[in-house]
A and B are shown apart, each in its own frame.
Chain A
Amino acid sequence: MPQLSNETDIRLPLSFIIFSIVALIASQVILLFNGHIVIEGNFRTPAILSSAHLLILGWALMVTMGAMYQLVPVAFLTPIWNEKFGFAQFWVTAIGFGGFGITLSFSPTLSIFTGSLAVIGILLFLFQMFMTMKKQAKKNILTLFVGSALICLLITITLGILLIINLGMGISNLDHLVVLKSHILLGVAGWFTFLIFGFSYKMIPMFSLSHGFSMKPAKWIFIVYAIGLIVTIFSFITEKNLFLQVGMSLLFAGFALFSYHITTIIKLRLKKKLDRPFIFSLIAIGFGLVVHLAGMILSILPSYYELFGVLIFLYIILWIACSILGYLYKIIPFLWWTHKYSKLIGKRDVPTLKQMIDEKMAIPIYTGLVGGCLVVILSIATGYLLIFSIGQSFVVASTFFFSYSIIKVLFK
């Protein structure tokens, strides 16, 4: 077997991750100062749209891109297609996402230009990943999950372009709400969930040192969840509640199956004491299961459909953000360790990955984040601005401490 070096230049994933930290803080600070809009449940306002896109694009998508530049070569055993192209993609995407997040709050016309740049950035990323994955010698279940996630991302941004053009110039016969709902569903449940599912199958056995488990359920998880997505989109087009109920039930069934499968993998672990941040990623799966269950229940209560907005917020924070934050606590020390100590291993004593980051800080950070989000939900239910400010302050403080602990790694 040829001995190829698959490692990516650390500056590439790190650039994405550092940008994402700034966007995360910005998104949460904007939310903190717009509490009065949030408690009214009026989410489609410029400030909230700006915060949501900074969170989803600026933070979650940027950090995922960075993590993929690091993980795809090692998980797929193939180097990144073109690193220089990757750096160009970073700058285009960073300017696009940052600009889009800012211009959305005051100028829909300007956001067409910044949005276009953001879209070009995502397309460049998709091209890079397609070219990289094409070289993978032996396709596996991870290829199916990650490949499908990338396709969902492509459809999401295509729908996003339609939404922006429709807002700026208007497209005749375009049902804005159907496109918007599909855009959100494929963005959060298609792209992020398929991606987290896929990489969880790589990272969970690796971090827990699990062996001897079956991967057969993974194929069924993919099929059930993918059909759930299709049926849910069909319900948006037909406006039939029955399809929404079937779609939500399938999404819940797929997620429940995934949760069960991960439980069986964890039970077979050799590493009995798991790292705290990693436990948090596992707890996020539990949160995701509860949110999917709530989605299924809500689908049979049409008079409460406006609560889907809250559920999407919980889905993003408790499932997507918590999963990513948990894994980041493992990925960032690894990146820096590789940069600083990889060439010294075998020559002199080097620190362990655990010694690279303060794990004790993980518990208050994650508790503050989850607790803060639940208080924010309570504030929307009760309509009290003070409760919102308290909850969101906890979220902002958690993101600050998270960023601090990440930056601290870079000085080890």
Chain B
Amino acid sequence: MELKDKILDQLKQVIDPELNINVVDLGLIYGIEIKENNNVYIEMTLTTPGCPLHDSITSGVKHSVAYLEEVNEVEVLMVWHPAWSPERMSEDAKKQLSGY
């Protein structure tokens, strides 16, 4: 398994405690970049700016990825452009929110 896939798997362990859906299925992860020395750079967003879970989710993403032995350092950048939209969610997440 490639490191990027492992990182994605790890990120699926980070659950938004309000919606009970992981950050990958919610479409919050905009990009994962693996740089020199396996330093990982993650660009992500939240469903709304000013979400009270901002710090919790950011540190959750950082910790979950840092847990991988291959990973050296993790940097998480929160961005608001482009803004999150429901289209970014996976089908599973959409179903869960619809109550099916």
On A, residues with C-beta under 8 Å from B are 1, 3, 5-7, 70-71, 74-77, 202, 205-207, 209, 211-212, 270-273, 334, 337-338, 341-343, 345-347, 350-354
Is B63 engaged at the interface, CB distance under 8 Å to the other chain? yes
Q: What are 21 of the A-B contact pairs (CB < 8 Å)?
A: A3-B77, A6-B55, A74-B51, A74-B54, A202-B50, A211-B85, A212-B85, A271-B19, A334-B52, A337-B17, A345-B15, A345-B17, A345-B57, A345-B63, A346-B67, A347-B60, A347-B63, A352-B15, A352-B18, A352-B20, A353-B18
Known: A6-B55, A353-B17. A346 touches B79 (CB 8 A): no
3 closest cross-chain pairs (CB), A and B: A345-B60, A346-B60, A346-B64
**Within the complex, which residue of B51, B55, B63, B77 is in contact with A1, where a contact is CB–CB below 8 Å?**
B77
Contact A347 B79 (CB under 8 A): no
Q: Is the CB of A351 within 8 A of B17?
A: yes
Contact between chains at A209 and B97 (CB < 8 Å): yes
Complex-state Cα separation, A354 to B67, whole angstroms: 27
> How close is A137's CB to chain B, nearest CB, in angstroms?
11
Q: Are B64 and A342 in contact (CB under 8 A)?
A: no
**Complex Cα gap A75–B54 (Å):** 11
Q: Are A270 and B56 in contact (CB under 8 A)?
A: no
User: Nearest Cβ distance between residue B91 and chain A, in whole angstroms?
Assistant: 13
A346 touches B17 (CB 8 A): no
Q: Which residues of B contact A71 (CB under 8 A)?
A: 52
B82 vs chain A, min Cβ distance (A): 13
Question: Which A residues are CB-close (under 8 A) to B64?
Answer: 346-347
The CA of A45 and the CA of B64, in the complex, are separated in Å by 60
**Cross-chain contact B56 with A345 (CB below 8 angstroms):** yes
Chain B interfacial positions (CB closer than 8 Å to A): 10, 13-15, 17-20, 47-64, 67, 76-80, 85-86, 89, 94, 97-99
Are A346 and B62 in contact, CB atoms less than 8 angstroms apart? Answer: yes
Most buried by A among B18, B89, B98: B18
* Bound Cα distance from A207 to B97, whole angstroms: 12
Task: Judge whether A77 and B97 touch: CB under 8 Å.
Answer: no
A354, B52: Cβ atoms closer than 8 Å:
no
Given that A352-B20, A354-B20 are known contacts, is A343 also in contact with B59, CB under 8 Å in the complex? yes
Assembly CA distance A249 to B63 (angstroms): 55
Residue from B18, B19, B52, B55 in contact with A5 in the complex, judged by beta carbons closer than 8 Å: B55
> Is B99 a contact partner of A272 (Cβ separation < 8 A)?
yes
Q: A257 CA to B59 CA in the complex, in Å?
A: 40
Question: Which residues of chain A have C-beta atoms less than 8 A from B14's C-beta?
Answer: 345-346
For A272, A346, A353, the residue with the greatest tally of chain B CB atoms inside 10 Å of its CB is A346
Closest Cβ of chain B to A298, distance in Å, is 39
**8 Å CB contact of B63 from A211, A341, A346:** A346
Nearest-neighbour CB distance to chain B for A355, whole angstroms, equals 9
**Nearest-Cβ distance from residue B30 to partner chain A, whole angstroms:** 13
Closest to A205 in B: B48
Known pairs A352-B20, A353-B18 / 10 extra A-B pairs, C-beta < 8 Å: A1-B79, A209-B19, A212-B85, A270-B89, A272-B99, A341-B17, A346-B10, A347-B60, A347-B63, A347-B64
> Which residues of chain B have C-beta atoms less than 8 A from A1's C-beta?
77-80
State the CA gap A182–B49 with chains docked (Å). 36
Chain A residues near B99 (CB, 8 Å)? 272-273
Among B47, B61, B78, the most chain A Cβ lie within 10 Å of the Cβ of: B47
- Chain B residues contacting A206 (CB-CB under 8 Å) are 18, 47-48, 51
B98 touches A272 (CB 8 A): yes
| B98 cross-chain contacts in A, Cβ below 8 A | 270, 272
* Minimal Cβ-Cβ distance residue in B for A3: B78
Query: Chain B contacts of A271 at CB under 8 A?
Result: 19, 97
| A75 CB → nearest B CB, Å | 5
- Scoring B14, B17, B94 by chain A CB atoms within 10 A of each residue's CB, the highest score goes to B17
Complex CA distance for A76 and B50, rounded to whole angstroms:
7
Docked pose: A351 CA to B55 CA in angstroms:
17
**Chain B nearest CB: distance from A267 CB in Å?**
14
* A272 B97 Cβ-Cβ under 8 A: yes
Whole-angstrom distance between the alpha carbons of A6 and B67 in the complex? 25
**Which residue of B49, B58, B63 is within 8 Å of A3 (Cβ)?**
B58
User: Which residues of A have CB within 8 Å of B15?
Assistant: 345, 350, 352
Give the contacting residue for B50; candidates A7, A74, A352, A354; CB below 8 A: A74
Bound complex: CA A297 to CA B94 (Å): 45
Q: What's the Cα separation between A347 and B47 when bound, in Å?
A: 22
Give bound CA distance, A273 to B51, whole Å.
Answer: 20
